[in-house]
Amino acid sequence: MSNTPPGRTEASDESIQRWSEKYDPEHMSQEEYRAFVDDLVSAGNLSETDKNYIGYSDMVCLGTLEEVASGNSSIAYDANSDVAPYETLMEADGNARSWAAAWCGLVSSDQPNGFLNRRISAFDALSEIFGKMSAAKK
């Protein structure tokens, strides 16, 4: 049984190999990152909605329109370190792999299905794919 959330499929070995040859997760421009995320969405590994949570644009998103309108857009979290993860790929100096890993280490104090949980879930999927890409290069 897969741990893949609904709306996402597991990345195929062929896709992982192709992406590992095409992208360098530790050195990505915003445009390369967008192309990579588009590839993941096209392959079904991320949903179109996931783009809102993982820095697809260079804007920082604080919650869904409904959450912001209702005043429930809190993105409070507890990190395992004193350093909060970067909000944008640019702040992470183009290192999408370490950026995603930092978000995976968070524990949400958000509502069970809130913005932060969805963001962590999407970054978990990215981080898993980056790990597989790294293994494919060896």
Average pLDDT along the chain, 138 residues, taken 10 residues at a time = 65 96 96 96 93 78 55 49 69 90 73 74 93 90
Alpha-carbon distance of 122 to 99, in angstroms, equals: 12
The pLDDT value recorded for residue 108 is: 62
Q: For residue 23, is it left (φ>0), alpha (ψ between -120 and 50) or beta?
A: beta
The pLDDT value recorded for residue 17 is: 96
The pLDDT value recorded for residue 133 is: 96
